[in-house]
Amino acid sequence: MSPIQILGKPFLASLLLISSHLFGQNEPFTMRVLANNFSFPWEIVYGPDNNIWTTERTSGKVTLVTPGNGSKKTILTLGSKMVQSAGQDGLLGLALHPLFLTTKPYVFIAYTYASIDATHRLTKIERYTYTVQRNSKAALTNPVTVIDNLPGSNDHNSGRLAVGPDSKLYYSIGDMGAGQFDNSARQNNAQNLSVYEGKILRLNLEPINGSWIPSDNPF
150-172 pLDDT, tens digit per residue, is: 998 888 899 999 999 999 999 99
Return the closest-CA partner of residue 148 out of 171, 131, 165, 129.
Answer: 171
Backbone torsions φ then ψ of 23, nearest 5 degrees: -80, -10
Domain spans of the chain, in order of start: 34-204
The answer to whether 97 is a known catalytic residue is: no
Q: What is the pTM of this model?
A: 0.85
Buried residues in 104-138 as b, exposed as e (16+ CB within 10 A): ebbbbbbbbbebeeebbbebbbbbbebeeeeeeee
The 10 Å Cβ neighbour count of residue 52 is 18
**Catalytic residue from among 21, 97, 120, 156:** 156
Q: Give the pLDDT of residue 23.
A: 57
Residue 111 CA to residue 128 CA, distance in Å, equals 13
For 34-204, CATH number out of 2.60.40.1120, 2.120.10.30, 3.30.930.10, 2.40.33.10 equals 2.120.10.30
Tell me what the mean pLDDT of segment 55-69 comes to: 97
Rounded distance between C-alpha atoms, residue 103 and residue 97, angstroms: 10
Rounded to whole angstroms, what are the CA distances from 10 to 16, 18, 23? 10, 12, 20
Q: Which residue has the higher pLDDT, 178 or 86?
A: 86
